[in-house]
Amino acid sequence: MQGCDASVLLDDTSSFTGEKTANPNSGSIRGFDVIDTIKTQVESSCAGIVSCADILAVAARDSVVKLGGPSWTVLLGRRDSTTASLSTANSDIPAPTLNLSSLISSFSNKGFNSREMVALSGSHTIGQARCTTFRDRLYNETDINSSFATSVKSNCPQSGSDNNISPLDTTSPTTFDNIYYKNLRIQKGLLHSDQQLSSGGSTDSIVNTYSSNSATFFTDFANAMVKMGNLSPLTGSNGQIRKNCRKTN
């Protein structure tokens, strides 16, 4: 969580606490087995050369492309952390309950402006969220499409079923497109933080631009992903190239 250094992949041990149990990650982040498979295959071809951090960065790009989204050039040469920070993961990953001003601040703290924040939020055109992260919005907020709320409530009751998941983009959940923004304009944002981007505030115009111009969204998203992949990477002799992404060498 210090940067783009694969710290999130490290498992907890008796003497080490990783980031997998951080509130934003626990029960939510998944696909570690996919990274393990990629790492095994890469190691068999060229051992000790490709870091887990680079694998994550490339896998993110390739996933977006596979689902119909834009491509971008992933800079390589990151090295893997030997540490992780549960506290930083808990404090720095933006919560789904944040209001617009807090979202802007959270991203600004990492060097991203409002437009880049809205572009990166567009990753919610794919993926899913747990009931516990959007229950309050479903049952207590008014800036939500009523038929949309009713349909999602069927999988997220007022109590229990915290880990039931719903797509962040219910219209085209496995296609990387600009429907996420179209949904925000008609109050079909799943998370409170999603709908905040189109709620009469300073980012409405950006949402409108992306909802009507897919190419602009794709370009801005790709550029923001390159920037995010450049967040405090470990290079040179810093860090290491892990043999197993789940543990330090």
122 labeled part of a ligand binding site: no
The two structure tokens encoding residue 131: 């009931």
192 labeled part of a ligand binding site: no
19 labeled part of a ligand binding site: yes
What SS3 state is found at 72?
coil
Distance of CA 175 to the CA centre of its chain: 16
92 labeled part of a ligand binding site: no
7 labeled part of a ligand binding site: yes
**Helix %, strand %, coil % for the chain, to 5?**
45, 5, 45
125 labeled part of a ligand binding site: yes
111 labeled part of a ligand binding site: no
CA atoms within 13 A on the CB side of 187: 13
Angle at 54 between CA 52 and CA 58, to 5 degrees: 115
Q: Where do the H-state alpha helices sit in 46-155? A: 52-66, 86-92, 100-108, 114-121, 131-140, 146-153
54 labeled part of a ligand binding site: no
For 199-238, the DSSP string reads SSSTTHHHHHHHHH-HHHHHHHHHHHHHHHHTSS-B-TTS
204 labeled part of a ligand binding site: no
Q: What are phi and psi of 78, to 5 degrees?
A: -70, 150
What residues form the annotated binding site for heme b?
124
What residues form the annotated binding site for Ca(2+)?
3, 5, 7, 19, 125, 169, 177
What residues form the annotated binding site?
3, 5, 7, 19, 94, 124-125, 169, 177
